[in-house]
Amino acid sequence: MRGVKILSTGMCVPKYKLTNEKISTFIDTSDEWIVQRTGIRERRIVTDETTVSLATNAAKEAIKDIDPLEIDLIIVGTVSPDQMMPSTACSVQAEIGATNAIAFDISAACSGFIYASKIAIEAINCGSAKKALVIGAEIFSKVVDWNDRGTCILFGDGSGAVLYGETDENKILAFDVGSDGNLGQTLVLENQPINNLFVKNEYSPSFIKMDGRAVYRFAVNVVPKSITKALEKAQVNIDEIKLFVLHQANERIISSVAKNLGVDINLFFKNLDKYGNTSGASVPIALHEAKGKLKNGDKIVLAGFGGGLTWGSMVAQW
């Protein structure tokens, strides 16, 4: 079985910063209220950017040192594409000139990057690819109800990318992934209803609906278990991990996961104060910003969790 390592990373966020103070001008909230409950101070919101443009710019940064023709596989994790066809991945393929790649999207919400990474890494392991580009890209500002204080304060837009490559010494040590469709209705984004010759439905825009308490209970329970399982598979002790890069959903969730694992919170990277919850983009964006803290050989944990409900953890060596 061929080994795999992280070759490079990239990210792209919209230019416009939407602060808590600005949100408080059109909804009943305050900077203090939002920070205390979430840890978020601002988020990036698109103006003229698209999911494809964000994903493309993140990809270009990640592949700046290689020929795009070397890329064999492109996977984009997104639940907020610009259009259903062509896929975001195919559009990125065209923009970066990766004409030799297979390209497709997957839908696993905030776990999308971890799910896509598992698929890409296993493709390299089995020899069907040598270089794989995995992107998380989301524009949640178009699917939140800006009159709903419970959701609109949480989400931001952005994209992150990681380029994986074949190597003699394997650096991707283990995965743990899972899903529980029985809890799916706690976090929902509906699609266009059936509207054909036989069934008529009035179309109206759909927005994210979330049972925040249920999602919190799910995350603080399943994420520590998933990380522990991944470490056991990797045969790595938790005290060997130099940095934990979790989905940036809520500061309270990250703190609870750290407590449940018995790990110093300072080992958990956080940038949700700047970007909010960017769903499938949050882990690769966080990894890109965290890499300055890492040295060659450091062991790290990446973990995502969210809609589906889904979760996934990955143990890697930098």
Look at residues 114, 306, 316 and name the one whose alpha carbon lies nearest to residue 233.
Answer: 316
DSSP bridge partners of 315: 174, 301
Q: For the purposes of burial, counting CB atoms within 10 Å of the CB of 229, is it exposed (0-12), middle (13-18) or buried (19 or more)?
A: middle
Distance between CA 125 and CA 243 in Å, rounded?
A: 25
CB neighbours of 217 closer than 8 A, spacing ≥ 6?
Answer: none
How far is C-alpha 246 from the chain's CA centre? 9
Say whether 288 is catalytic.
Answer: no
Catalytic residue among 57, 110, 152, 288: 110
Tell whether the torsion through CA atoms of 116, 117, 122 and 127 is positive or negative. positive
Annotated catalytic residue, options 152, 247, 250, 288: 247
Asked if 277 is an active-site residue, the reply is yes
Question: What pairs with residue 133 in β-bridges?
Answer: 74, 163
State how far the Cα of 38 lies from the Cα of 10, in Å rounded to an integer: 26
The residues, ordered by sequence, that sit 6+ positions from 58 with a Cβ below 8 Å of its Cβ are 10, 11, 12, 135, 137, 159, 160, 161, 284
Question: Which residue out of 20, 57, 250, 277 is catalytically annotated?
Answer: 277
For residue 83, the SS3 value is coil
Catalytic positions, written as ranges? 110, 247, 277
